[in-house]
Each structure stands twice: as C-alpha cells, then as structure tokens.
Amino acid sequence: MSTNGEKIIAKNRKAGRDYFLEERFEAGIALRGTEIKSVRARQVSLNEAYVKIERGEAWLVNAFIAPYDPASRFNHDPRRIRKLLLHRRQIDRLEEKIRQRGYTLVPTRMYLKRHRAKLEFALAKGKRKYDKRQDLARKDAQREVERSLARRNG
C-alpha cells in the first residue's frame, strides 16, 4: 500500500529496462464488472501491453486481465482493448509527441486510487542494446559502492 492511498496492482518492470521513460501520465480505465474484480484480485499483467491513440481516443492494448472464475460464462476476453479516460487536450498532446520519431506510450503500472482502477503510462523512447549494457554496468558499479560502504560501516 502506498502512502497516498494507492494500492499497486501490477508493474511493468521491463519498461524501465527497454525504454527511456520520459514523461508520465495517469489515466482511468473503462472496465467491465468482471474485469474490476480480477484487478482487485491482482490478476493483471502489463508485460506486453502498450497504449495507442486512434481516432482521438486512447486505448490500452494487449494488457492481460485474467478471467474472473465465479463469473463463468459472463466473463470478459482477457486481452480485449480497453479505453483509457483522458482529457481531449492530453490526447492531442500525446498524439503530437508520438508522431515524433521513436516515441511510444508504455504502461508502467496499474493501481487502485479511491477504489478506481488507474493506469500510469510513460512517453518512452526505445533503448538500444548498448544503452541497456551501459545501464547494467552503472547499476553494478553502484551496487559495488554500496557494498563497500556497508562493509566499512558494519
């Protein structure tokens, strides 16, 4: 549970590894009854998901929300496209930035805020292989520094 009343449901850990995350946005998600029950049960995966803007609306594509078992035949399609709730100006601004070369919208986490499902996504630029290697080397160096400081202090 986060300090500001947010309950984190799912994170996309690959997003930070595969993309340079620049600007972050928050959007509501239009869900069906069985979907929100699965979200509350934390049966969500954002690993292969992305956000697309089409005909002036934002959509969450390829996010997996598991079927809700007690709903049986009244269940939802786990990978259906879900509408994101954003203001017109936000959508227009995002669409303009996506038109620039190399930018995409990547979901970073899904959470509940005041009992409503929200999606945080970021304007991102893809990392190349050498960028990923540099990040790993930087993290390893930082970890070594922290270890040596811990040994010295402890």
Q: Could you tell me if residue 141 is inside a domain?
A: no
Total domain count, the chain: 1
Q: Would you give the distance in Å from CA 12 to the centre of its chain?
A: 5
Helix and strand element counts for the chain (H, E): 4, 9
Q: Could you tell me if residue 20 is inside a domain?
A: yes
**Helix%, strand%, coil% for the chain, nearest 5:** 35, 35, 25
Distances (CA, A) of 135 to 18, 21, 89, 106, 148: 10, 13, 34, 19, 20
pLDDT reported for residue 154:
67
CA 56, CA 40: separation in Å to the nearest integer? Answer: 29
pTM higher than the cut 0.75: yes
pLDDT digits (tens, 9 = 90+) for 62-119: 999 998 888 777 788 889 999 999 999 999 999 998 987 778 999 999 999 998 999 9
Q: Could you tell me if residue 113 is inside a domain?
A: yes
Of 35-39, 76-80, 134-138, give the range with the top mean pLDDT.
Answer: 35-39
CATH number at residue 42: 2.40.280.10
Q: Could you tell me if residue 147 is inside a domain?
A: no
Q: Could you tell me if residue 92 is inside a domain?
A: yes
Closest CA to 32 of 82, 70, 87: 82
pLDDT reported for residue 1:
52
Q: Could you tell me if residue 150 is inside a domain?
A: no
Q: Can you give the residue range of the structural domain that contains 94?
A: 6-127
Closest CA to 94 of 145, 10, 26: 26
Q: How confident is the model at residue 2 (pLDDT cuts 50, 70, 90)?
A: low
**CA-based R_g, the chain, Å:** 18
Q: What is the mean pLDDT of the chain?
A: 88
Q: Could you tell me if residue 51 is inside a domain?
A: yes
Contact 122, 21 (CB under 8 A): yes
Q: Could you tell me if residue 151 is inside a domain?
A: no
Q: How confident is the model at residue 3 (pLDDT cuts 50, 70, 90)?
A: low
